[in-house]
Amino acid sequence: MTTPDETTPGTRADETSASDQTTGAIAPSGFLWGASTAPHQTEGNNVGSDWWVYEQRMPYFNPSGDAVDSYHRYEEDMRLLAQAGLNAYRFGVEWARIEPLPGQFSLAELAHYRRMIDTALSLGLTPVVTLHHFSSPRWFVEGGGWLAENAVERFCAYVERVSDILDGVEWICTINEPNMFAFMMLMAAAINSDAVPAMDTPTVQREDGFVLPRPLPQATQRLIEAHHAAREVLRRRTRAKVGWTLANLVIHATGPEAEAMAQEEREVREDVFLRAARGDDFIGVQAYSVQPVDSDGLVPHPPHPDNTLVGTPYRPDALGIAARHAWEVTEHVPVLVTENGIATADDARRIAYTREALKGLFGAVDDGVDVRGYLHWSALDNFEWGHWEPTFGLIAVDRQTFARTPKPSLAWLGDTARRGRS
């Protein structure tokens, strides 16, 4: 079994390149500074995926359509990040494109994603590649999806094939946010019957008191099995560091009477997935806000003027708390922040949020948490799983012309990366 690369810089304060006069925050040398995207949210016309169907059938959804046309414009996207001063880019490969029908792999699509990897490398961006980010091929879901007997086998056949194009990639995320995805699967009902599940996308909190359902236990087990099997394939076929990424919910009890329930919620929604990352090369931490729990379970976020555009409280401190929790529960698997950001139309607020989040993150570094990088969500304003209004991007996109306009936050994050500090 491959062990995390102990010699990779990123763990020790004495290897640092710079220190911040004002916050004491220190970025270890070799630290990844970048931004993240996902294929279905940016590429456009992902017609073979299950999400393409949900967008047509779910009552609250807008379609992704052309998304932001990154399928054709990825080079421009990457160039903007590199020019700003970032050194890493997380993006995904789309299973539905690579395997449009069971067992039929598209050489042209594999070549497309290889070009993306080569483009990132040539621009000085370390590619961080995600193999599954919420969307699955429609045929896979029609055939029973993740709960079917052969799901892991099917996923691994795809992973095996993708590993042919991953030469030179040092970071691979197998499955994005299995703890969200484990109940997102409920949407599969919209594919195999006329039933329309009464749920919105889990990434947007409605104001009617809706709370996220708990992950289905069988889905949790299946995804853990799939992650471990994919990890084995990737370790056999690549030299990359392998991990998965979690939605770190930062669950906390509203009072002493809710402690037991908070522990129960933490266990089924997060810790079971974190423990499954023991033995991985990194854990992808994705934190945005916090989640209170009372003695009945999750408490819906009340409407508040400071809430973000996805209805969550403004809590930049969530990132540092999440990094510490992941480090503890995984028993010290190195942390890569694979997502952190804010849905806001006010870019100055994005900068303020990110500055504060980084302060918390580097506080954790100072306390000994091994953090290997920070990848902001998101590079671009993009398709927020059925919605276009919540904008997370460092770069704005005109959805008629697809023209990209970098926001001040991109220059700010690039400067932070250049200085190596928050």
Site of interaction with ligand BGC (CB under 6 A):
38, 41, 176-177, 180, 203, 247, 286, 310, 339, 377, 384, 392
Closest CB to ligand BGC among 177 and 271? 177
Q: How far apart are CA 338 and CA 285, in angstroms?
A: 6
Q: Minimum CB separation from ligand BGC for residue 314, in Å?
A: 14
Pick the closer one to ligand BGC by CB: 30 or 65. Answer: 65
Question: CA-to-CA distance for 114 and 109, rounded, in angstroms?
Answer: 9
Cα–Cα dist 421/214, whole Å: 38
In the complex, the smallest distance separating the C-beta of residue 259 from ligand BGC, rounded to whole angstroms, is: 26
Distance CA 330, CA 319 (A): 16
β-strands 251-253, 16-19: how paired?
A: unpaired
Task: With beta carbons less than 8 A apart as the criterion, state whether 227 and 272 touch.
Answer: no
Residue 115 CB partners (closer than 8 Å, separation 6+): none
Annotated catalytic residue within 177, 270, 356, 384? 177
Of 343 and 371, which has the nearer Cβ to ligand BGC?
A: 343
Specify the residue, 55 or 177, whose C-beta has the smaller distance to ligand BGC: 177
Tell the smallest beta-carbon distance from residue 163 to ligand BGC (Å): 22
Min CB(36)–ligand BGC separation in Å: 8
Q: Which is nearer to ligand BGC, 173 or 261 (CB)?
A: 173
Smallest gap from Cβ 183 to ligand BGC, in A, equals 12
Residue with the shortest CB distance to ligand BGC: 203
Please, what is the minimum distance in Å from the beta carbon of residue 21 to ligand BGC? 32
Start-to-end CA distance of the chain, whole Å, equals 35
Question: Token digits for 98?
Answer: 């690579």
356 is catalytic: no
Residues 6 or more apart in contact with residue 296 via CB below 8 angstroms? 261
CB of 392 to ligand BGC, least distance (A): 6
The nearer residue to ligand BGC, 310 or 417, going by C-beta atoms, is 310
Whichever of 11 and 409 has its CB closer to ligand BGC, that residue is: 409
Q: What amino acid positions are annotated as catalytic residues?
A: 177
